Amino acid sequence: MSKSEMHCICAIIIAGSLAGGDAAAQSEPKQEETLRVTVPPAVQSGIVIHTQPGASCVIRPAKGGDVESEARMFADSKGVAQFFVRPEKSTSEINSLRVHCETGGAVSERNVELRVAEGPNADYPAPAPLASSQPVGRARAALTEAQASRMSDEQLIKGGYPLPPDEKLSPEGYRQWLQVVTHPGIIVNPGLIQNPSIKHDYGNTQNGTATSGNWSGDELRGSGGPFAWVSSWWLVPNVAGETSKQTNSSTWVGIDGDGTTDLAQAGTEQDAFGTGGATVTTYRAWTELLPNQPSESVLANLAIRPGDQVFTEVWIGSAGGSPSLTAPNPFMVVCLENETTSAGACFNYTPLAGTLVGGSEAEWIMERPTLCGGGTCTLSDLANFGNVTVFNTNILARRSNSPRHQGYSGCCGAGSFLINMTSNGTATGTTLDTVNLNGGTINFGWSAFH
């Protein structure tokens, strides 16, 4: 396998019923025309921005210069980026935002003026529909149920299909997996963008295993052997913002990272801030491998929206092989599918490059991520997602070197424990609480925290 193949990244869009000058000149911002739109009150509207392909963009209020009120979004390979806004009520005032985008030496800025009213007018039309890029790449054939049930892990991986859950432990998860693989798809490049401003860090649970300053959720240890694969379906939380406050949250599944030096993980990010009586939010998919990747790697071509149901699995194995911690030339492998929008991603491989993944833990986490900039990193304020069921189906781990259909453990049985996020390392000041476990469903409750 060539070096380029080792870093092969592929995305899958599923069809069917699933839903010129010098460097100094280039760095000068190019002022673009103002985007003016009307958005309805008390409704979440999507706003599309056209910028440079693969650009990293920051959204801020146009007035006040409050650097704490911002959120990031990332343009796909066609230069399309999107964010969401939800005004509280109709108003005669125009809410102005500034979008600053960069890629390579190119910089662009755009003003966005939001008129909040029940209907658009000639000067402030309705927002353009959220566009989904037409996938270009090789076709992925739809399997029959019989084919899907008997294919080996290696055959599924070679074809670009996610690995199945255990049918007995998670019958609903298996049904959803069948729905994915029995529809045709196209394998395309997801457009990875490194985002040095966000890091998804180690857990460092305290007070036995009850609390953490940045994690909340469920952690599974033991259960008959080290874990090489972890998965779950979840609903992307719809977050609310606070005025003059940047808030962030991450939902992910992973292996290790609590009391270890390694952490393999992938998930979604949900960020928000409030301005002018409206909440501005952004959503994205990402992956990260610590310590090799010190910050998140964003899948810019895979659109994530609030309320989407996504499936993510992370495992360790050789190129094209089954989950195995002892595989030669191991990689972190990630597969991600979006059932709601009919889009997904299965991609591999991130080389471990000497990192030893022991597989002592599997996790399903809602995180308060770490913000980095100017040479320092600090924990973010947690975005407000209210009380919500997040992880809902196929919350499973799989032991290393397990035969097909074997070696699975549920998230929340023997050997698992709940983690509550705290502000001071004790039970007081808890900001995020895993409220209960109901048939493997993990529920979260947010409380104000700064």
Task: Please indicate, yes or no, whether the overall pTM of this predicted structure exceeds 0.85.
Answer: yes
Q: How far apart are CA 201 and CA 419, in angstroms?
A: 15
Question: So what's the pLDDT on residue 349?
Answer: 79
CATH code of 23-116, in short, is 2.60.40.10
pLDDT tens, residue by residue, 127-158: 988 755 455 557 788 999 999 999 999 999 98
* Between 338 and 92, the higher pLDDT residue: 92
* 168: confidence class by pLDDT, cuts 50, 70, 90: confident
Q: How far apart are CA 77 and CA 341, in angstroms?
A: 18
Question: So what's the pLDDT on residue 445?
Answer: 81
Q: How far apart are CA 356 and CA 392, in angstroms?
A: 30
**Coil/strand/helix, residue 148:** helix
pLDDT tens, residue by residue, 40-81: 999 999 999 999 999 999 999 987 655 568 999 999 988 999
pLDDT tens, residue by residue, 112-123: 999 999 999 999
* 436: confidence class by pLDDT, cuts 50, 70, 90: very low
Which residues have C-beta within 8 Å of that of residue 364, sequence separation ≥ 6?
Answer: 217, 218, 230, 232, 253, 391, 395, 411, 442
* 413: confidence class by pLDDT, cuts 50, 70, 90: confident
pLDDT tens, residue by residue, 394-403: 889 999 999 8
- Which of 111-125, 233-247, 415-429: highest mean pLDDT? 111-125
* Between 334 and 67, the higher pLDDT residue: 334
| 357 has a pLDDT exceeding 90 | yes
The alpha carbon of residue 419 and the mean position of all alpha carbons in its chain are separated, in whole angstroms, by: 20
| 4 has a pLDDT exceeding 70 | no
* 447: confidence class by pLDDT, cuts 50, 70, 90: confident
Where do the domains of the chain lie?
4-13+141-446, 23-116
For the domain made up of 4-13+141-446, the CATH class stated in words is mainly beta
**Could you tell me what percent of the chain has a pLDDT over 90?**
52
The count of other CB atoms within 10 Å of the CB of residue 440 is 22
pLDDT tens, residue by residue, 268-313: 999 999 998 999 999 999 999 999 998 999 999 888 999 998 989 9
* 448: confidence class by pLDDT, cuts 50, 70, 90: low
Q: What is the DSSP string of 258-311?
A: SSSS-EEEEEEEEEEEEETTEEEEEEEEEEEEETT-SSEEEETTS---TT-EEE
The count of other CB atoms within 10 Å of the CB of residue 365 is 28
| Sheet containing 376-379, strands listed edge to edge, beginning at the edge strand earlier in sequence | 198-199, 370-373, 376-379
| 364 has a pLDDT exceeding 90 | yes
Mean pLDDT of the chain: 84
